[in-house]
């Protein structure tokens, strides 16, 4: 049975993952490679952090022409804030050229892990033959190799039709801390077999990120190493998409948003220490920008997140987080409903509290996935943001991450 998700879901992609030993006392896989059979249109969205990891800078150079053919990623060390980071990231790409025959200028490189520790090139060089030999149409090892504190691998897949041809997007991502709007320590790699112009692909990827990954928050810390990228190799045989506004462009845009949304939910649910997945749906905002600001402020609020950890319907904190979001809205019109598989409970109408069955609310909030439905009454714009609760476990994980 063929895979229905992951980076090998579309035609013409192989992947591999090994344990190179970048970090001594780690048994887990730490080095991944993804290759396309042919050179592919490529696009990427990067962290907005002013301190950018060296791999980001090298990838930006390599994608300047809009094409790439491989992705190499290590976990464990971020290759950021070190003196030789740029040279090391470049060397990783050169190793791909040497062992897999793909020009280093067509290689995307990414790293995730501790900032400030030097990334040793030797384990990567030593492991490269095995990494290349291991390439196959199976994404399992690659999806594991990019994980850091993630508790499970994150893969998704979407099928769609362009010009009568079935096309596919596959993807893998890793979280799970330092995640906040505008590309936090979040790496997501998409593969696609549709044909599309690089510039159109870039615009679509940006729009998909704004509507999904940039509305995802685990802890408010925007990482130095975030990257969302796509390789689209055209092997599906569709007429190339050259206009985002064309019917085919809209189909591709929809598929891109869908796979990003699937990966976001997986990331949020696996936020460091998370015990609840939070999904905040804002309806009826004046503009999309306002809707997005409101939704992401709610899922980013430590106080709101801690309340959901305690299954406490402390909706005042939701109003508070909306209030400091920077969005334009009328607090007096706001309605808030909390919803889960156990039912839904209205907690605020016209900006003020309504009588609340605390026992029932507690039951609603004890479920794993919680929806916060906010209606503004200011317009017709919507947005959805994803996050998780703030738990003891988050503090524990981050109190001794390095040691």
Query: What are phi and psi for residue 43, nearest 5 degrees?
Result: -150, 155
Is residue 312 close enough to count as binding a second copy by CB under 8 A? yes
Choose one: 144-152, 204-212, 322-330, 369-377; the region binding a second copy (CB under 8 A): 322-330
| CB 98, min distance to a second copy, A | 27
Q: Is 211 helix (H, G, I), strand (E, B) or coil?
A: helix
The residues with which 36 forms a beta bridge, in sequence order, are 13
Of 158, 178, 186, 256, the one binding a second copy by CB under 8 A: 178
| CB 323, min distance to a second copy, A | 3
d(CA 84, CA 93): 15
Site for a second copy in 28-47 (CB under 8 A): none
Angle at 137 between CA 242 and CA 91, to 5 degrees: 80
Nearest Cα to Cα of residue 193 among 164, 235, 159, 161: 235
Q: How far is CA 85 from CA 78, 158, 209, 222, 370, in A?
A: 9, 35, 27, 20, 41
Handedness of CA 16, 20, 23, 25 (dihedral sign): positive
Handedness of CA 143, 144, 147, 153 (dihedral sign): positive
d(CA 111, CA 397): 20
Site for a second copy in 132-171 (CB under 8 A): none
Of 87, 310, 341, 357, the one binding a second copy by CB under 8 A: 310
Site for a second copy in 95-114 (CB under 8 A): 114
The residues with which 17 forms a beta bridge, in sequence order, are 32
Q: Does residue 48 have an active-site annotation?
A: no
Radius of gyration of the chain (CA): 21
Is residue 301 close enough to count as binding a second copy by CB under 8 A? yes
Task: Give the binding-site size for a second copy (rule: CB under 8 A).
Answer: 66
Q: Pick the catalytic residue: 80, 82, 149, 185?
A: 185
| CB 35, min distance to a second copy, A | 31
Cβ closest to a second copy, residue 130 vs residue 221: 221
Cis preceding linkage at 176, omega within 30: yes
Of 59, 69, 74, 80, the one binding a second copy by CB under 8 A: 80
Is residue 302 close enough to count as binding a second copy by CB under 8 A? yes
Is residue 315 close enough to count as binding a second copy by CB under 8 A? yes
What residues act catalytically?
Answer: 185
> Which chain residues interact with a second copy by CB under 8 A?
48-52, 78, 80-83, 114-118, 177-178, 180, 182, 219-224, 300-303, 306-307, 309-310, 312, 314-317, 319-325, 327, 329, 331, 348, 350-353, 390-392, 394-403
């Amino acid at each position: 049975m063929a895979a229905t998700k992951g980076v090998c879901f579309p035609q013409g992609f192989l992947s591999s993952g090994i344990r190179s030993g970048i970090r001594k006392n780690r048994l887990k896989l730490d080095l991944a490679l993804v290759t396309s059979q042919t050179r592919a249109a490529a696009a990427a969205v990067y962290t907005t952090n002013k301190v950018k990891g060296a791999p980001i800078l090298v990838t930006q150079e390599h994608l300047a022409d809009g094409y790439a053919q491989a992705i190499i990623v290590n976990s464990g060390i971020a290759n950021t804030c070190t003196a030789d980071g740029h040279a090391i990231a470049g060397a990783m790409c050169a190793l791909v050229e040497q062992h897999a025959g793909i020009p280093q200028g067509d290689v995307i490189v990414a790293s995730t892990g501790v900032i400030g520790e030097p990334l040793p090139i030797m384990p990567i060089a030593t492991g490269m033959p095995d990494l290349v030999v291991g390439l196959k149409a199976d994404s399992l090892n690659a999806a594991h190799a990019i994980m850091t504190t993630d508790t499970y691998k994150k893969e998704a897949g979407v099928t769609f039709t362009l010009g009568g041809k079935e096309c596919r997007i596959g993807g893998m991502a890793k979280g799970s801390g330092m995640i906040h709007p505008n590309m936090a320590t979040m790496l997501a790699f998409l593969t696609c077999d549709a044909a599309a112009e690089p510039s159109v692909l870039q615009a679509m990827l940006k729009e998909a990120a704004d509507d999904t990954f940039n509305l995802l928050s685990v802890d408010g810390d925007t990482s130095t190493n975030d990257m969302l990228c796509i390789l689209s190799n055209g092997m599906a045989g569709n007429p190339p998409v050259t206009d985002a506004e064309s019917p085919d462009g809209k189909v591709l845009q929809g598929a891109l948003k869908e796979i990003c949304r699937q990966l976001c939910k997986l990331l949020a649910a696996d936020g460091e220490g998370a015990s609840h997945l939070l999904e905040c749906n804002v309806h009826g905002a004046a503009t999309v920008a306002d809707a997005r600001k409101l939704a992401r402020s709610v899922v980013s609020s430590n106080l709101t997140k801690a309340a959901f950890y305690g299954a406490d319907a402390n909706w005042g904190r939701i109003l508070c987080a909306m209030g400091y979001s920077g969005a334009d809205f009328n607090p007096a019109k706001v309605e808030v409903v909390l919803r889960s598989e156990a039912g839904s409970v209205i907690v605020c109408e016209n900006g003020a509290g309504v009588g609340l069955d605390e026992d029932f609310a507690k039951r609603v909030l004890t479920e794993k996935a919680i929806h916060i439905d906010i209606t503004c009454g200011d317009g017709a714009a919507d947005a959805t943001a994803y996050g998780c609760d703030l738990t003891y476990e988050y503090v524990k994980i981050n109190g001794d991450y390095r040691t």
